[in-house]
Amino acid sequence: MAVIPRADLAVDDGLHRRLRWVRTLAVAALLTLIAAGWLLYRGISVVPARVRISAGDPLGHRHRIAEHLQSSSVAGLRLELVPTKGSEDALQKLSSGEIDAALIQGGLPAASNVRQLASLIDEPLHLLVKREYLPKGIDSLRGKRINLGPVGRGTRATALAALAAVDLTPGNYIDSSLSYGDIASLPSDELPDGIFLVSAIPAEAAMSLVHRHNYRLMPLPVGDSMQVRDRSVKDSIIPAYTYGYAPAVPAEPLHTPATRLLLVTRSDVSEATVIKLMESVFESDFALRGDLPVLRADDVIQYREYPLHSGAWQYLHRNEPLIDGELVEGVENLRSFLFSAALGLFFAWRWYVGRRRVGFERYLDEVSQVERQILLVPNRRVTAAELQQAHLRLTQIKSEALEGFCQGKLTGEELLQSFLLHVADVRRSLVDLGTTAIPAAADPPLADPSPFP
């Protein structure tokens, strides 16, 4: 049988170890590649959240804003624009589940499942009138044809409230309900004498009426009085020259009621989708695309008309630290409370234990009192009757103490032993004293008490 040299064995062992190491590295690299591929596949295959959003009439300024929001949506979110007749119609479709979100005019009643996400910009109420009515003021529209917008639009509700504020009730004018499309298709002589619309400025429909049909803006300085009845309405100003320079439209800053443009959704829309939708509004180039002022997420707190979605609360508090001063203060208060409670329980326990120990001390004091009365008075001659009374008192004290110990009212075996020894000592002393006691004629002979308690 051939013998393999030790050197060859060492070489073979080293080679096998290197091969095992190479195989281990290859398996680890393969597993890493598989994991990376799976994560890449998951990232690519994630379906973006689909949100059906409406902003009313496709010819309105609000719908243009929705188009800019669609173009600015963040990754993982896909917006689909769904036309509706107006804000009231959008709220009904939102509540029924036909759409998932909507840009609506503020100040409208909504179902209980509608939640607010953002408050974007003011939308002033525009009252455009034919040029000849402007100098005579709002009272010149009595008996005239006024377009309040189609049923289902928030414009109609706000226009009715504004007309009521200037004492123009539905019986004082001819109600018209033309849409933006109808107005755009009619010639000037067939258009109403007054036309209401609610829109952020500049409104494209108002610009068309001013330049194509020679309409003018009429002031409606009733925003403050309307706010008394409806906090969602406020006074707003349309700057001079907003819709024309020569002639100036309006010629001077014009007061008119205004509501807010709100972004709302249903309560059952997921929090993750809501957060992505708010990121699209406040963290993308949405405001830049739509020529909007700087948008602040915190404005939703100031201009809140509906309950906030839980996802909106999460987004608003996204930058708050996990550990803040309020949390530290709460923990400190809890610590102080727990320490005070523990200290109170400790003192209560000490009082309870001390109270239970006082029982034996009381009985020890009573035994000592018997001892002082009989044994510690100098030059006193004790009668047999007094000794018998002292023995009876000791027996009574001992019985009460033992009964209390058995019932758990007294604790401490060491105290019990000390008590019993003290009783035994006093008994012995009384027995010794009995030999010198003065006998009484009526006294019965004393029995020799046991030296043990």
20-72 pLDDT per residue, tens: 777 888 888 888 888 877 766 665 445 678 899 998 888 888 888 999 999 99
| DSSP 8-state assignment for residue 138 | G
Contact between residue 152 and residue 86 where contact means Cβ atoms under 8 Å apart: yes
**What average pLDDT score do residues 291-297 get?**
89
pLDDT of residue 451: 43
* Exposed / middle / buried, residue 89 (Cβ in 10 Å: 0-12, 13-18, 19+): buried
Residue bearing the bigger pLDDT, 6 or 233: 233
pLDDT of residue 447: 47
**What average pLDDT score do residues 169-183 get?**
91
- Rounded to whole angstroms, how far apart are CA atoms 72 and 66? 10
pLDDT of residue 260: 93
pLDDT mean across residues, the chain: 83
Of 15-19, 324-328, 366-370, least confident by mean pLDDT is 324-328
Phi and psi, residue 237, nearest 5°:
-125, 130
Whether residue 295 is predicted with pLDDT greater than 70 in this model: the reply is yes
Of 319-323, 341-345, 395-399, 437-441, least confident by mean pLDDT is 437-441
Question: Which of 171, 121, 123, 165 has its CA nearest to residue 146?
Answer: 171
- Rounded to whole angstroms, how far apart are CA atoms 234 and 260? 9
Question: Which of 124, 136, 67, 137 has its CA nearest to residue 242?
Answer: 124
**What average pLDDT score do residues 154-168 get?**
92
Contact between residue 312 and residue 278 where contact means Cβ atoms under 8 Å apart: yes
pLDDT of residue 441: 47
Owner of token pair 């401490």:
412
Helix axes 204-213, 61-71, angle to 10 degrees: 140
Q: What's the CA dihedral at 50, 106, 56, 118 to 10 degrees?
A: -30
200 CB-near residues (< 8 Å, 6+ apart): 61, 62, 65, 121, 122, 123, 124, 261, 292
pTM to 2 decimals? 0.63
pLDDT of residue 452: 39
* Long-range CB pairs of 6-12, under 8 A, 24+ apart, other chains included: none
Amino acid symbol at 64: R
* Long-range CB pairs of 155-158, under 8 A, 24+ apart, other chains included: 155/86, 155/105, 155/125, 155/196, 155/197, 155/198, 156/86, 156/196, 157/88, 157/107, 157/108, 158/105, 158/107, 158/125, 158/196, 158/198, 158/233, 158/257, 158/259
pLDDT of residue 308: 94
| DSSP 8-state assignment for residue 327 | H
Whether residue 177 is predicted with pLDDT greater than 60 in this model: the reply is yes
pLDDT of residue 12: 58
Q: What b-and-e string marks burial along 426-439, b requiring 16 or more CB atoms within 10 Å of the CB?
A: bbeebbeebeebee
Phi and psi, residue 175, nearest 5°:
-80, 130
Contact between residue 453 and residue 427 where contact means Cβ atoms under 8 Å apart: yes
Each residue of 108-151: pLDDT tens digit? 888 899 999 999 999 999 999 999 999 999 999 999 999 998 88
Contact between residue 300 and residue 83 where contact means Cβ atoms under 8 Å apart: no
Each residue of 210-233: pLDDT tens digit? 999 999 999 999 999 999 988 999
Model confidence band, residue 335 (pLDDT cutoffs 50, 70, 90): confident
pLDDT of residue 443: 46
| DSSP 8-state assignment for residue 114 | E
Whether residue 297 is predicted with pLDDT greater than 80 in this model: the reply is yes
